[in-house]
């Protein structure tokens, strides 16, 4: 069964590149569809404001000596939601003047904030011993987006939750500083890229792994993914033809100008079998038959093939803009465990943005 966003963090054992970071095909089906900031630099902007904005931690749970799980009262989402913190050496919330470079790791389509610690073992990375790592949960298939919601007011306001609640909370109460970087896998990668592009200077660097880099190019893919998990995909950005302007507004490819001065790391499999794939075949998602027919015969993961295509397209656009982009496309599928490896590949770019 797929873990939901409220799953508790557990202590994890030794790192393993594949053996203990294998996804089930069902979990990965849910994932379908996914400059150094000096002190006094750009602040978090006012997003579409909910009726009340709290972003207040109502509970804290110490998981181990570095991991803390918060329960946050979110007005933007209309519910409580967990946020995990991996604290740096010397961190002490009783020292309110301390400010730490902060890496935000965004959840994929299942919204699970625990993945970065339990599967990708971020707590084992020595490079992050002096960095505060913030890992917020997200509603199922939330796409890190303030949903269009058929043109009506309402939510979920996932982008607002992150910008108006999570970032202010950790910067006010938990020592997060204005030097920020962000990364995400699948929908988390879309969120990291999209917010960096829409708000230049928000993050000093950004990385996205196996993400919808250019979703308007394969709209059926992401709409079908939402339907597969029982959600109305048309509530996210609307119909890709009737609400074309909404789709373009959220698409990182069409927002690429905002990434001109932000170091970017993009990575994706190409949909063909790779060395870190899960043992199970990918679940067939009804509605993706067009792309199954159009992609080459050796493609076994139509979702990852779409991500790989979109990664190359965004890479070309960013290079035409003269943006600092590094792109890695490799044999692999959406059920694989490549996020573990790709985060480590992206770390030098992310950490360089966090150095004072």
From the list 52, 135, 112, 109, the residue with the least C-alpha distance to 225 is 109
Unique residue bearing structure tokens 């994929």:
108
> What domains lie within the chain, and their CATH numbers?
25-352 (3.40.50.1820)
- Distances in Å between the Cα of 112 and the Cα atoms of 123, 205, 278 are 17, 23, 19
Radius of gyration of the chain (CA): 19
Asked whether the beta carbons of 5 and 77 are under 8 A apart, the reply is no
Strand order in the sheet with 206-209: 56-62, 67-74, 79-86, 132-136, 100-106, 176-185, 206-209, 264-269, 325-330
Output the tens digit of pLDDT for each of the chain's 356 residues.
Answer: 222 333 345 433 333 333 333 333 333 333 333 322 223 334 454 433 333 446 789 999 999 999 999 999 999 999 999 999 999 999 988 777 899 999 999 999 999 999 999 999 999 999 999 999 999 999 999 999 999 999 997 889 999 999 999 999 999 999 999 999 999 999 999 999 999 999 999 999 999 999 999 999 999 999 999 999 999 999 999 999 999 999 999 999 999 999 999 999 999 999 999 999 877 778 889 999 988 899 999 999 999 999 999 999 999 999 999 999 999 999 999 987 888 999 999 999 999 999 87
E strand map for the chain: 56-62, 67-74, 79-86, 100-106, 132-136, 176-185, 206-209, 264-269, 325-330
Cis amide linkage into residue 197, ω under 30° from 0: no
Q: How far apart are the first and last CA of the chain?
A: 43
Helix axes 219-228, 302-320, angle to 10 degrees: 140
CB hemisphere CA count around 311 (13 angstroms): 29
pTM value is: 0.87
- Distances in Å between the Cα of 109 and the Cα atoms of 26, 153, 212 are 12, 23, 11
3-state SS assignment for residue 100: strand
| Cβ within 8 Å of residue 253, ≥6 positions away | 213, 214, 216, 217, 310, 313, 314, 317
| Cβ within 8 Å of residue 274, ≥6 positions away | 330, 331, 332, 333, 336, 338
Asked whether the beta carbons of 182 and 203 are under 8 A apart, the reply is yes
3-state SS assignment for residue 327: strand
């Amino acid at each position: 069964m797929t873990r939901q966003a409220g799953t508790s963090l557990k202590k994890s054992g030794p790192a393993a590149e594949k053996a203990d970071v294998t996804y089930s095909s069902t979990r990965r089906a849910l994932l379908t569809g996914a400059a150094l900031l000096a002190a006094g630099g750009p602040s978090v902007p006012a997003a579409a404001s909910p009726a009340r904005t709290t972003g207040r931690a109502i509970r804290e749970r110490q998981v181990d000596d570095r991991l803390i799980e918060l329960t946050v009262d979110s007005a933007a989402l209309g519910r409580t939601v967990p946020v995990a913190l991996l604290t740096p050496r010397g961190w002490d919330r009783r020292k309110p003047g301390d400010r730490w470079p902060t890496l935000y790791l965004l959840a994929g389509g299942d919204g699970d904030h625990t993945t970065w610690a339990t599967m990708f073992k971020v707590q084992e990375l020595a490079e992050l011993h002096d960095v505060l790592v913030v890992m917020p949960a997200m509603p199922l298939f939330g796409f890190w987006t303030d949903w269009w919601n058929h043109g009506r007011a309402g939510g979920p306001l996932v982008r607002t939750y992150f910008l108006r609640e999570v970032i202010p909370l950790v910067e006010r109460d938990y020592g997060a500083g204005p030097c920020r970087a962000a990364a995400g896998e699948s929908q988390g990668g879309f969120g990291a890229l999209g917010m960096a592009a829409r708000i230049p200077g928000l993050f000093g660097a950004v990385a996205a792994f196996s993400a919808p880099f250019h979703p308007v190019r394969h709209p059926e893919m992401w709409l079908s993914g939402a339907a597969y998990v029982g959600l109305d995909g048309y509530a996210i950005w609307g119909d890709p033809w009737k609400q074309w302007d909404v789709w373009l507004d959220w698409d990182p490819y069409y927002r690429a100008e905002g990434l001109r001065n932000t170091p970017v790391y993009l990575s994706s499999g190409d949909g063909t079998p790779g060395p870190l794939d899960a043992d199970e075949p990918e679940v067939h998602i009804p509605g993706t038959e067009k792309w199954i027919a159009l992609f080459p015969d050796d493609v076994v993961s139509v979702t990852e093939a779409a991500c790989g295509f979109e990664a190359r397209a965004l890479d070309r656009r960013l290079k035409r803009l003269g943006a600092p982009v590094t792109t890695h496309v490799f044999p692999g599928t959406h059920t694989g465990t490549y996020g573990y490896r790709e985060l480590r590949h992206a770390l030098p770019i992310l950490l360089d943005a966090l150095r004072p």
